[in-house]
Structure formats: C-alpha cells, structure tokens
Structure 1
Amino acid sequence: MFLTFFNMKSYTTCLLLIGLNSWFFPNDTEAQETAHGRIYLDQNKNGRFDAEEPGIPSVLVSNGEEVVASRSDGSWQLPVRAGQPLFVIKPSGYQSPLTENQLPYYYYWHQPQGSPDTEIPGLAPTGPLPGRINFPLHWHEEPERFEVLLFADPQARGMKEVNYVSHDVLEECMGTDAAFGITLGDIVADDPALFKEISESTATIGIPWYYVFGNHDHNRDVSEDEFRDETFNRFFGPSTYAFEYGKVVFLVLRDIHYSENGRYTSRYTESQLRFAKNYLEKVPLEKRVVILQHAPIVRTEGREELFRLLEGRPHTLSFAGHTHTMRHVFLGPEHGWQGDSPHHHFINATVSGSWWVGLKDETGIPHATMNDGAPNGYSLVTFDGTDYRIRFKAARRPSSYQMNIHLPDDIPARQLKNTLVIANVFAGSEKSSVSMRIGTAGSWIPMTFDPREDPLNTWMHSLDAYLEQTLPDGTRVDEGLGWKMDPPQVSGHTWSALLPANLAIGTHRLEVHTRDQFGQEYRSYRIFRVRE
C-alpha cells in the first residue's frame, strides 16, 4: 500500500486518514514498525508523487522523537509506534501544501485504532501502516527579511466571541505583508468544536497559519494526557513540531500537560526533549532558534534541560502567551539559564485581552483591556537574517498607539511638587528608555522604571459593577454571562516621574518619548492645566 498526499480539494478525505498520539505504547517494542517514504518536489501540485518528479535530499523527517534527513533521492526511513506522528520539518525555500484554511499539511498519523470515542471527535482510525508515505513540497521564495503575525489566546467562547476575534483583530490584518501567522495557544475557551470556525475566520487573512496547543484547547471528554490534544491534532496536526523559514527555525513544544483529575502543568516530556535534542543537533549555529509554546517558559518544568540545548547557540528567542499580560523577560542564572548572555523570552499580548470582558464599545465588542492595563492586540515580529524586532499592535487602534499617560487634567499649583506622571508603555521593557518634557522646548526629564498597577485599568475594573445591572424583565445587562475582569495586576512596563514644581498657571503640553531595545521610538502627548 502506498500513501501520498491528495489534491487539496480532497483534504477533508485526507483528514479521515490521519491521527495523533492515541493508543501510544511507549514500552512496547513489538508494536514498533518501520515507516518508509520519499520527500519530493510536487511540480504539478496534484498531491501525488509522479514518476518524473524529483526527490528532495537533506530534508528532515521525524516521528516526534528521532529525526533523520532524506537521502539523495528523497527517500527516508523511521521507526514508528501506534500513536506517533510522522512529519516533515519544512526547510527554508520550500512550502508544504496548504489546506483551504491555510493550514500547512505536512504530517501523517500512524493511529490504527483512532482516538477514543468523544463527543467532539479526535482522529479517525488510519489502519495498517502504509508501505510508503510520501510528503510533497513546493518551491517557495523566502527572503531573509520577513514578518510574522503573532497572536496569543483568541480564547473564543461561542460564536459571539469568534465574531469578536474576526471584527476586532482579523479584519485589520487583511492585506498584511506577513509571511505567515502563529497563534500561541488557547485558540478557543474549552470548546474545541469551535476550531473549525475560528481557523476558517483566521484563514481569510490569506497567509499560512501555525497553531500552538494551549490549556483551553483540550478535549475534556478524556482523562489521559496523551488523548487530550487529539481534537487539536485532527484540525492542526502535531502539537510538537518544527518548521524553518529564511534563517530562522521555529520549534513548537506542547508544554501543557494534564493529570487525570484535569489539572494542568507547564512541562516538557522526555519525548519532547529527545525531539528537541535530535533536531537541534542538525540545525547550524548560524540560524536563529525560536521556541514557541503556550505558557511562559519561566513556569515550565524541564526548562533547564531545554536551556542546556540552547545555551551554546548565539541566536535564540522564545515566545509564549497565557498570562493575558505583555512582558519581556531576560532569562539569566536566577531562571536556570547559563548562557553567556541573557535569553529573551517574550510573553505576547492576547487577542482576547482579558477574556473578552468589560463594558462594550459602540460596536458591541468589550474593551477587554489586559490585566496589566495594556489593550488587547497582537505583535508583528520582523526577522532580518538572525536579527529581529518586535512591535505591538493594539486592536483597532493606530500603530502609533503604544502607551497611556496618566495625569490629572487639573492640578492645583501647590500640588505640583507631589504630582506623579505615570506612563504605561505597553510593549516596553527594562531595556527601554522613557523620558518626558513640558512644552516643545523644555528639558527632557528621565522617567524611572516603576512597575505598578495601571491607574486607568483600576478605574475600568470599577465599571464592572454596571455589568450586574438587570432589566425590568430580569434579564442581566451582560446577558447572564457575568464575566468580569480579573483583579488588576502589577504592570511590568510602567515608568514614573514627578512634574516640575515651577510650572506657570495655565494649559501645558506633556510629551512622553520612549525608545525600545530594538531602536523603535514612540511619542505620546497629554494636555493638562495648572490652576491656583
């Protein structure tokens, strides 16, 4: 029996033949078989290996642990057990076929018995291992400079919030120049039945999209950890995988794992660490390695084993979501990192902000301000060779909207010496410089990095009281959902400075300027008055 990839019009049929992680027998050596296949250049893009189509050498293929390179004719061979995936690690200069929902299709699941029977299906039985499993690739021009859309936690509860995602974020991304997008987990809020709708909406942006497994993406109908991600696998493929673009390699690790009582922890399994080790041994040092996972790496059990694999490399970076805050973390010895220079870990802004809660605006979408006072949104990451920069984008706001300035509108002159200016620079970090001045010719006053609760965020939380109002017929204003913001958290990107005590009575202009670690500069202004 031969298996190859069908035309993408038959992708739905293909999905019935693939699977992941079910019926996994880690110690059953008798269940191990040998898989064979070929990586080939699909010149006519029909999804089938035709005799005249050449094999592609030196392409990496994995079973989720071992990693091998295809031979000169594109052929490969790997051991495989029931429940394991077989997948291509997309090399630079090539593209795996895309489904109609812009999902890269690069894998085969050896899952003879399929997933356990659940209300929301996992993977269908694949039957016996095919005699050959052939993976197609297409030529794809990949410049060293490219941009990535980086989402975290769309976390849609029901179709109403799928529509929030669409109108608040996706529509403004149409026409993007980004090469592809990534969602860092919590695609939905405990309802994997919505994977179809949210991936269809995201696909309308028109670029390839990669997904990470989050703690709200699991199937609650099963208790065993190895089955929890199988609905995710049916829609998006393996939850641990890798792909390459330009001079960057992206290593996706499923860090969310469950105990039988349903509690989750962020950790790496031995199998995942073996995959990371075997893959990174084949990645040249001149490439940048980017780790993608859901929860912040500083919370992840087993991170020090991963750090040992990364510390000798000159170019590393990692991204996560999960916290509904935004933060740049520079890992050092206190985090278990022993590299010569700190490792940059970026906790991305969330699309859902604070879980799509708060009073609604004139379009019917909640303000959803994140717990650190930053607006909901996403990031744009630009890679140029191994260099990179990160730029935050607030949902439905101009790209220049990068901070809020907190200062009373009217200040008595006698209180000037005690009046604090607070700037929440949404994507700022300890490596940012922030300063302020009064007017257009005043001296610049350095502002001090001063983590604290955002005053505006604290006030906005007080408005949650209005969500508890009921109409005369007993209907709640919030339609009975009762979703409120979590208590405000200390922001990791606020700065402060005292106003000059000698300002004249009258109206003044305050300007705040920031320059981040990438050299990106932003300005914001606030008008205030000094009175007798």
Structure 2
Amino acid sequence: MSTRRRFIGQTIRAAMVLSAGNILQSFAPGSFELPDPDEVLLRFALASDGHYGQPKTEFEATHRTMIAWLNKEKENRGLDFTVVNGDLFHDNPEFFPQVKKVWDTLNMPWYATHGNHDKVTEEVWRESLNYGWHHSFELKDCGFVFLNTADETGKYICPNLDFTSWELRKYVFKKHTFVFMHITPFKWTDNGIDCPELIPELDVQMNLRGIFHGHDHDQDGVKENNGKHYFFDGHVGGSWGKPYYGYRIVEVLKNGDILTYQMNGVAGKQENNNTIKA
C-alpha cells in the first residue's frame, strides 16, 4: 500500500452513506476506501451461527479458521471485542463448554447472545459466561445491549420488554447505542419472528446506530425499518446458508460516523459495506 488508507478495489458489492435513516449517497463497487486507522475510535466484529457439534459438518475446522481470521483482524487493524451472535453450539449442551474453550482462544474479549440452538438454561448460561441471556455494557461513549430471542427448548420468543426499555434509556445519552439479538424481530426473512411491541422501543432510541442479527445464515446485508438499520452477518458454520463463512466488522469513527462491512474470510475481501452518519 502506498498510503495508510486501504483501498477496497472491486471487492465491494454495494456501499451507502446514511444520515437520520435516509440514504444520502450510494457507491459503486471499487469506489470506497477504509479510513486511516487513526480515525477509528472503536472497532468490533460479529460472527454468528457456528453450530459447534452439528453432525455432518466440519465445525471444529470452521471454528479454528474463524478464530484465526479474527485474531488476524486484531493484529492488523485492531479489534476491541467480538460478538458471537447466537447458536454457539448445536442443541447438545455437552458442546457448550467445548465451544467456550474455542472462543476463549480469541486475543480479545468476546460476548455472546443466546441462540435458539443454545439449549441450556439461563442459569447454566450465566455460570459459564458470567452474564444472563439479557445483558449490556458500555465502552468509549457507546452502549451495547444484548437481547434474548429463544427459550431453553429453542422456541423463538421476543426479548424482555422491561429489560430492553430500561437498558436503552440507560444509554440514551451515549454517543452511540448498538443492539444485538440472534433472531430478527420481523418476518421479513424465512426465519424471523414478529415482535411488534419491541419495535417502538427501538424506533424512539435516537442514538441507536444498528441492530445486529445472526440466525438467518443466508442473510449478510442490511434491512431498514423506520430509519433503523438491521444487519446480518451470514454464518460461521452449520449446514446451510451463504456459500462462504464470514463475519461483520463495525468501526466507530472519531467523527461520529459508523462504518460496517461484511467479510468473506476465505477470499479475504469485503462482501458489502455501509456507512452510517450520526
């Protein structure tokens, strides 16, 4: 590279700039550059649906590969943490401690949402990860809220509204808030669930920059409702979905913009890219 700014080239499918929910400009493939690392305040990754232990899948190999990719991201451009957005393992609770050991080899903190295939009680979940199915934390003037969308049998459920309302209000004066929930609260995908009581809570949060989902292995883009943007990140493992294993990167820039792009780890390229202007 001739400069510190990394040119994306022809690897982007699409890019857009958004402000207050409106698309201001779209970029053609090959017309976008990543910012200088000095312009980045905070950077995190999302990877979902590893389905560790699923029969007839190469779950051990896909997890080793994903860990290597994310550790390389940490080494090269930096990562503050990773979010594993549900379905860490596949149904059998015996795989829970095993997959935790795998994710513990990340060279950064990691946090998880509870997925419909993570069939353990909340007590077991808390004993293993030191937080419940709903949890939150803050970092660098950002609030991060994790919501639960399944019970211990795998039944789809809507997040706890009292927790959601309380936590969003707690972070209302932060510069940015981000929400993570395994299952999308709309039936706009084959595997979504309608949560009409949740949507107003998200709609009124003015500093909510993105809601992030796993679950739909065949989704790796963004959807919009009432000016809020709902992002997907494909899958780490499992037996179906996008024809690549990937992860999403989110960069919070010092100027207030949010840049997010989906990575195809095998190809080492961006699959799509979005910039949100605060």
- TM-score between the two structures when normalised by the length of structure 2: 0.72
Instruction: Give the residue type in structure 1 aligned to 2:53.
Output: R
Are the equivalent residues in 2 in contact too, given 1:285–1:314 (CA < 8 A)? no
Instruction: Give the residue type in structure 1 aligned to 2:212.
Output: F
C-alpha change, 1:397 and 1:383, in structure 2 (3 Å) is same
Instruction: Give the residue type in structure 2 aligned to 1:382.
Output: E
Residue number in structure 2 paired with 1:245: 139
- TM-score between the two structures when normalised by the length of structure 1: 0.39
Task: Please show how residues 40-189 of structure 1 align to structure 2 within 5 Å.
Answer: 145-157=41-53, 161-175=58-72, 176=74, 177-189=78-90
Are the equivalent residues in 2 in contact too, given 1:150–1:184 (CA < 8 A)? yes
Deviation of the 1:378 alpha carbon:
0.8
Deviation of the 1:307 alpha carbon:
2.8
Q: Secondary structure at the match of 2:167?
A: helix
Deviation of the 1:189 alpha carbon:
0.5
**How many Å separate the matches in 2 of 1:287 and 1:301?**
29
- Quick one: which of 189, 196, 201 aligns to 1:304? 196
1:273 has 2:143 as partner:
no
Report the identity percentage: 19
Are the equivalent residues in 2 in contact too, given 1:147–1:383 (CA < 8 A)? yes
Residue number in structure 2 paired with 1:230: 123
Residue number in structure 1 paired with 2:261: 391
- Quick one: which of 182, 185, 192 aligns to 1:294? 182
C-alpha change, 1:283 and 1:396, in structure 2 (3 Å) is same
Q: Secondary structure at the match of 1:297?
A: coil
Q: Which runs of 5+ in 1 are unaligned?
A: 1-142, 220-227, 333-341, 358-369, 403-425, 428-515, 520-532
Instruction: Give the residue type in structure 2 aligned to 1:389.
Output: L
**How many Å separate the matches in 1 of 2:134 and 2:194?**
15
**How many Å separate the matches in 2 of 1:184 and 1:170?**
15
Poorly superposed stretches of 4+, deviation over 6 Å: none
- CA-to-aligned-CA distance 1:496-519 (integer Å, 9 cap, x gap): xxxxxxxxxxxxxxxxxxxx5439
1:314 has 2:183 as partner:
no
- CA-to-aligned-CA distance 1:438-496 (integer Å, 9 cap, x gap): xxxxxxxxxxxxxxxxxxxxxxxxxxxxxxxxxxxxxxxxxxxxxxxxxxxxxxxxxxx
C-alpha change, 1:398 and 1:327, in structure 2 (3 Å) is closer
Residue number in structure 2 paired with 1:264: 155
Deviation of the 1:208 alpha carbon:
0.6
> Comparing both chains, which one has the higher relative contact order based on Cα–Cα distances under 8 Å and sequence gaps of 6 or more?
2
Are the equivalent residues in 1 in contact too, given 2:151–2:157 (CA < 8 A)? yes
**How many Å separate the matches in 1 of 2:266 and 2:105?**
17
C-alpha change, 1:397 and 1:267, in structure 2 (3 Å) is same
Are the equivalent residues in 2 in contact too, given 1:162–1:198 (CA < 8 A)? no
Deviation of the 1:158 alpha carbon:
6.1
Q: Which runs of 5+ in 2 are unaligned?
A: 1-38
Instruction: Give the residue type in structure 2 aligned to 1:266.
Output: I
Instruction: Give the residue type in structure 2 aligned to 1:257.
Output: D
Deviation of the 1:202 alpha carbon:
1.8
Are the equivalent residues in 1 in contact too, given 2:248–2:262 (CA < 8 A)? yes
**How many Å separate the matches in 1 of 2:275 and 2:164?**
29
- Quick one: which of 230, 235, 245 aligns to 1:345? 230
CA root-mean-square deviation: 2.6
Q: Secondary structure at the match of 2:88?
A: coil
Deviation of the 1:315 alpha carbon:
2.4
Task: Please show how residues 460-499 of structure 1 align to structure 2 within 5 Å.
Answer: none
Report the structure number with the largest CA radius of gyration. Answer: 1
Deviation of the 1:168 alpha carbon:
2.3
Are the equivalent residues in 1 in contact too, given 2:184–2:193 (CA < 8 A)? no
Q: How many residues align?
A: 225
**How many Å separate the matches in 2 of 1:275 and 1:167?**
34
Are the equivalent residues in 2 in contact too, given 1:172–1:396 (CA < 8 A)? no
Deviation of the 1:165 alpha carbon:
2.9
Residue number in structure 2 paired with 1:327: 221
Q: Secondary structure at the match of 2:138?
A: strand
C-alpha change, 1:194 and 1:328, in structure 2 (3 Å) is same
Residue number in structure 1 paired with 2:32: none
